[in-house]
Amino acid sequence: MAGKRTHRYCGGKGWITLTSGAEATCQPCGGKGWTPVYTAAERAEMDAQRKRETKAAETCERRAREIATGSSRDGYVRVVQMGFWHLREHAPERFATMLRSLDAGRLDDVVKALHAYFIGQRDAGL
């Protein structure tokens, strides 16, 4: 991140006054009062990472559709998708390992592990 810019909507306070007079957290800046400023190189890197993640998610979804059979096919695919995005948000180090496994060609193992991961998270109440 190249720097910070004071959020113009809330004026750097992190909160706004609603028309009713109540105060609320500024949603665009998340109550921080500032927004990040990225360099062109940082934006290009973030874009490349986003494209890689999207391609990996599509690949896992396609393979999950091929693996799953019967009436539970859509449910299996959905659980794999949710596992993918849950892993990305809640365990970034494991997500990076999963991407390396995909690069190594272990697609079936990754899809089955994503399914098991999300079922485990769901059963644990997380």
For 45-63, the pLDDT digits (tens) are 999 999 999 999 999 999 9
pTM metric for this prediction: 0.72
How far, in Å, CA of 108 to CA of 17, rounded? Answer: 52
**Residue 37: DSSP 8-state:** E
Check whether 1 has a pLDDT greater than 80. Answer: no
If you average pLDDT over residues 83-105, what whole number do you get? 94
Q: What is the pLDDT of residue 114?
A: 94
Q: What is the pLDDT of residue 41?
A: 93
Three-state SS for 62-120 is: HHHHHHCCHHHHHHHHHHHHHHHHHHHHHCHHHHHHHHHHHHCCCHHHHHHHHHHHHHH
